[in-house]
Copies of this chain bind each other. A is one copy, B any other.
Amino acid sequence: MEVNNGGGMAAELPEGIPSVIPGWFSEISPMWPGEAHSFKVEKILFQGKSDYQNVIVFQSSTYGKVLVLDGVIQLTERDECAYQEMITHLPLCSIPNPKKVLVIGGGDGGVLREVSRHSSVEKIDICEIDKMVVDVSKQFFPSVAVGFEDPRVTLHIGDGVAFLKAVPEGTYDAVIVDSSDPIGPAQELFEKPFFESVAKALSPGGVICTQAESIWLHMHIIEDIVANCRQVFKGSVNYAWTTVPTYPSGVIGFMLCSTEGPAVDFKHPVNPIDADESHAKTLGPLKFYNSEIHSAAFCLPSFARKVIDSKAY
């Protein structure tokens, strides 16, 4: 059987691009053994090596431009809305009046774009370890990096763990951890000391939302994250998930916790962003998030609920 690669001549990719189909980028990792997702490449737009990781940007034939760090897809223009909107509005719509927000990672600017929809927010700090990610996003993903243009944003290039240690107690109403997988530069962001720093940096009843992998692939990692968070965060501890087609297994999860203080019921948003459309004038409308899908995101398949409930509640 001849395999149809989607038409056209298969371009040879430059050295350093993992490709198993001629002219296609393939995502292969020990984080999801035995499977690979491949995308047809129209053009390689950028290839660089920062102090921390390999950075690739390519134009795909059907998912728009794609950002790849250390061989793993971080975002595509076609589905980035799901991840950015959910990781941001799940925490910010769950508290009545977010004013100070910290983003750890998120160097592409997409989370900033979503935070900036919230008119209550006065100050947005972002600490990204890799300046190349910021530069590349500004050059190739202007509709994502637009988040950096908000005057409330201060960009800190550096290590998120160190940054948090220096933060005065009770500074932030929300901390959003938009990290890559727990192998590579982001590893510490999944460990207990990091969560302790976050808890300290949060105001009473403040919230954290952190990227927390796939219920289909990483229940053992999720179990550990939940157990750590249960020890550290004395308010509520919850797991939510959403669909992102270009992430392995097609889903990504979020750990949402609150500190001691005013109770936070993450499942029932008290600060609905979709009720106020004023931000849509400058940033365009929300594509994915709404209050209904906010609540639905906390409903877990039985196999995941069983494990997470045993650790969390």
Contact = CB atoms under 8 A, between A and B. Distances in A.
Contacts of A120: none
A148 interface: no
**How many copies make up the complex?**
2
Contacts of A245: 216-217, 248-251
Main secondary structure of the interface of A (DSSP, over half): loop
Interface stretch (A21-29, A121-129, A133-141, A203-211): A21-29
A50 interface: no
Contacts of A28: 3-6
A1 B18 contact: yes
A69 interface: no
A51 interface: no
A184 interface: no
A217 B249 CA distance: 16
A157 interface: no
A270 interface: no
Interface string A1-26: 10111100000000111111100101
B34 A6 contact: yes
Interface residues of A, number: 63
A213 to B, nearest CB: 13
Given A3-B18, A20-B3, A62 B34 contact: yes
A62 B31 CA distance: 12
B303 A299 contact: no
Contact of A289 (B19, B63, B249, B302): B302
A302 to B, nearest CB: 5
Interface of A: 1, 3-6, 15-21, 24, 26, 28, 30, 32-40, 60-63, 71, 78-79, 81-82, 216-217, 241, 243-245, 247-251, 274, 285-290, 292-293, 295-297, 299-303, 305
Given A1-B16, A20-B21, 12 more contacts: A1-B15, A3-B20, A21-B21, A21-B26, A35-B38, A35-B40, A78-B216, A79-B216, A247-B250, A287-B301, A295-B296, A296-B297
